[in-house]
């Protein structure tokens, strides 16, 4: 059984004491794939990110990236035959993290009564405190969730909204938000207002201005992504939230992509609500997410389903914690494994998490440069956002296929994505922008990726786009 962590900050009185040591990162021995050996190498020094307007965005990625240990790619269970350039969709947990999760599952099955009745609350406290330390919030204001979609729906269900109230979002938000708000529009009569953010975009100020311009006296909630999903833009969340706070408007910051991708200080950002994913850039198991709720909103904040324990009086423990720590019989192993993921990823480079995020940021700038150099003159691939709005993903516009190829069957989202997987074993999403329905490719950079893989993608993409255009 992986022991629990004891490196948490000072504990909140609402939490119960627990202790232990983190799981160690793995020292892999697996041989490299025979099909195509890609040397793991340090990326060339990328230029420092362009400076945004003062107070808008400062990601702190100006320092050069560090070189990596040569066996870093063996830490993951990813199929070695794949060129996996899509960490942003579902993430991938290191092998050591999966072993830690398996040990928690074994512990549950050895004595499920003890696990659910006694151990779970303490394990949740450990996870809460480690995640809270990572994003800088009070642990008592944080609860674990299955995923960011579930967290989003829980917030929207709890936030007081009535007919005619306006919820302001951007036209780059994740699809589940659009779907839930549409249901609320029909059932409750809320009004959904969309701020149009251009893509390509010249600066963070453009995004800030677009959002502020749609605020009215009826705006009761603003929902924005910290890092947009399809277009991969780091939005000026701090400036947006400051503006809304000054107007007394609540803000839900969707950080599904931000913890582990960019520095994330929720206390400094000061939203009403914050959502984070554990399975994406923290590289925890699937089924791990979390939600921060400002203290003044917690007394009315309940789960979508109340467990059998919801009516138990526990004077020593806040209802907010009791409600969300146990939501019925379920596999909570993904949530309680998050400390192991934070430790494993933070141990890869000597500089810890700051060095890891810096490395991935410089790597994705190299990836963008490679793709634009190979395809820019032929297919007009150009950077769509300034460096100050880049985390560790980039999105580029692709040419449309000829009309007679637009209806090709696909197992994914675009037939070209199928071709890249089937012919080249490249995993990369080819999607449509939520805002304009334009065809795009989104590329991720995680520490196991190399510049050679982006060169390989560029060559494959050029070949297939050439074939497409010839019909």
Domains and CATH numbers, the chain: 100-343 (3.40.640.10)
Q: Are strands 83-84 and 142-145 parallel, antiparallel or unpaired?
A: unpaired
DSSP labels for 74-142?
A: GGB-S-TTSEE--HHHH---BHHHHHHHHHHHHHHHH-HHHIIIIIHHHHHHHHHHHHHHHHT--GGGE
Of residues 391 and 65, more confidently modeled: 391
Give the confidence band of 308 by pLDDT, cuts at 50, 70, 90: confident
The answer to whether residue 437 scores a pLDDT higher than 90 is: yes
Confidence band for 395, pLDDT divided at 50, 70 and 90: very high
pLDDT confidence band for 312 (50 / 70 / 90) = confident
The model's confidence at residue 35, banded by pLDDT at 50, 70 and 90, is: very low
Residue 311's pLDDT is 86
Task: Please give the Cα distance from 82 to 166 (Å, whole number).
Answer: 45
Predicted local distance difference test score (pLDDT) of residue 33: 34
The structure tokens listed for 39 are 């040397």
pLDDT reported for residue 68: 66
- Mean pLDDT check: name the lowest of 34-48, 203-217, 366-380, 409-423: 34-48
Give the model confidence (pLDDT) of 193-225 as tens digits. 999 999 999 999 999 999 999 999 999 999 999
pLDDT, greater one: 13 or 112: 112
Res 24 pLDDT > 90? no
Here the tokens at position 260 are: 């582990």
Query: Mean pLDDT lowest for which of 38-47, 437-446, 462-471?
Result: 38-47
Quick check: helix, strand or coil at residue 359?
Answer: helix
pLDDT in tens, 67-110: 666 678 889 999 999 999 999 999 999 999 999 999 999 999 99
The reported pLDDT for the residue numbered 34 is 27
The token pair at 332 is 């909570």
Token pair 């296929």: residue: 401
Average pLDDT, the chain: 88
pLDDT tens-digit readout, 145-166: 999 999 999 999 999 999 999 9
Residue 79 class from Cβ within 10 Å (0-12 exposed, 13-18 middle, 19+ buried)? Answer: exposed
Between CA 124 and CA 113 the distance in angstroms is 16
pLDDT given for residue 313 in this prediction: 83
Rg (CA), the chain: 22
Give the tokens for residue 55. Answer: 């107070």
Instruction: Cis check for the bond before 200: say yes or no (omega within 30 of 0).
Output: yes
What is residue 69's predicted lDDT score, i.e. its pLDDT? Answer: 62
Is pLDDT above 60 for 29? Answer: no
Q: Report whether pLDDT(241) > 60.
A: yes
Cα–Cα–Cα angle for 145, 357, 21, rounded to 5 degrees: 60
- Per-residue pLDDT at 117 exceeds 90: yes
User: Per residue in 405-430, pLDDT tens?
Assistant: 988 999 999 999 999 999 999 999 99
Q: Residue 45: what pLDDT? A: 32
pLDDT band, residue 21 (cuts 50/70/90): very low
Cβ pair 65, 350 in contact under 8 A: no
Euclidean distance between CA atoms 427 and 448, whole angstroms: 14
């Amino acid at each position: 059984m992986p022991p629990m962590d004891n490196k948490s900050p000072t504990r909140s009185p609402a939490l119960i004491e627990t202790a232990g040591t983190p799981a160690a990162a793995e020292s892999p021995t697996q041989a490299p794939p025979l099909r195509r050996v890609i040397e793991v190498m340090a990326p060339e020094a990328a230029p420092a990110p362009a400076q945004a307007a003062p107070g808008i965005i400062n990601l702190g990625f100006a320092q050069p990236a560090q070189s990596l240990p040569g066996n870093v790619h063996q830490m993951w269970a990813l199929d070695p035959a794949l060129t996996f350039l899509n960490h942003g969709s579902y993430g991938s947990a290191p092998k050591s993290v999966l072993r830690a999760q398996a040990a928690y599952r074994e512990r549950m099955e050895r004595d499920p009564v003890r696990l659910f009745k006694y151990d779970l609350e303490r394990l949740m406290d450990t996870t809460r405190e480690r995640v809270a330390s990572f994003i800088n919030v009070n642990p008592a204001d944080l609860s674990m969730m299955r995923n960011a979609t579930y967290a989003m729906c829980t917030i929207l269900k709890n936030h007081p909204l009535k007919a005619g109230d306006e919820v302001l979002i951007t036209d780059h938000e994740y699809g589940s938000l659009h779907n839930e708000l549409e249901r609320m529009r029909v059932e409750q009569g809320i009004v959904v207002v969309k701020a149009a953010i251009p893509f390509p975009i010249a600066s963070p100020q453009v995004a800030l201005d677009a959002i502020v311009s749609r605020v009215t006296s009826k705006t009761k909630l603003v929902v924005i992504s910290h890092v947009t999903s399809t277009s991969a833009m780091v939005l000026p969340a701090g400036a947006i939230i400051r503006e809304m706070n000054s107007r007394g408007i609540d803000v839900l910051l969707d950080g599904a992509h931000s913890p582990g991708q960019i520095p994330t200080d929720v206390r400094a950002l000061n939203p009403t609500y914050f959502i984070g994913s554990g399975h994406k850039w923290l590289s925890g198991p699937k089924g791990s997410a979390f939600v921060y709720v400002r203290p003044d909103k917690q007394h009315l904040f309940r789960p979508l389903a109340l467990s059998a324990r919801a009516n138990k009086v526990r004077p020593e423990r806040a209802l907010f914690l009791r409600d969300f720590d146990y939501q019925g019989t379920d596999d909570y192993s993904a949530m309680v494994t998050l400390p192991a993921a934070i430790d494993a990823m933070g141990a890869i480079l000597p500089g810890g998490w700051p060095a890891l995020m810096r490395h991935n940021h410089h790597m994705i700038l190299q990836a963008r440069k490679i793709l634009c150099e190979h395809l820019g003159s032929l297919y007009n691939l150009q950077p769509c956002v300034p460096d100050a709005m880049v985390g560790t993903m980039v999105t580029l516009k692709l040419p449309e296929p000829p009309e007679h190829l637009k209806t090709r069957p696909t197992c994914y989202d675009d037939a070209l994505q199928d071709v890249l997987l089937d012919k080249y074993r490249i995993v990369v999403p080819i999607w449509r922008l939520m805002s304009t329905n334009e065809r795009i490719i989104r590329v991720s950079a995680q520490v196991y990726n190399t510049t050679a893989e982006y060169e390989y993608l560029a060559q494959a993409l050029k070949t297939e786009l050439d074939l497409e255009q010839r019909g």
